Structure 1
Amino acid sequence: MDYGKTGGPVKKGKNAPRHKEHNAKGSNKNPFGQSATKAELLARMKAAAEAKKQG
């Protein structure tokens, strides 16, 4: 007996997200080919650390 052929048909996944992210790649907020420089990232991290220290 071929047990692989028993049961209902297997539904394939659609491989599509359920919704769009607000900052998805290629959107207005996050366009392709544009990334923050290391200096900008360090400044943002330092500002976040200061904000966390102050409460």
Structure 2
Amino acid sequence: MYGTSTGRLDVYQALETFVPGNLMWSVTGDHGNAWLQGQVALESAQNYSVSVRLS
């Protein structure tokens, strides 16, 4: 997430075939030239998938 043309990063949790699923975390814009940690709590009694999308 570095640079003037930096867009958006989204993390979704999808149950079964409901894609993209629920937006769990999102960040936009330039956050400097360093790695930053993000954390999301994902809980479900069902199988799920996680997708990360850049735009």
Q: What TM bracket, shorter-length normalisation?
A: under 0.3
Greater relative contact order, per chain length (Cα 8 Å cut-off, separation 6+): 2
Write 1 or 2 for the structure with the bigger share of strand.
2
* TM-score (norm: length of structure 2): 0.19
Pair member with larger Rg:
1
* TM-score (norm: length of structure 1): 0.19
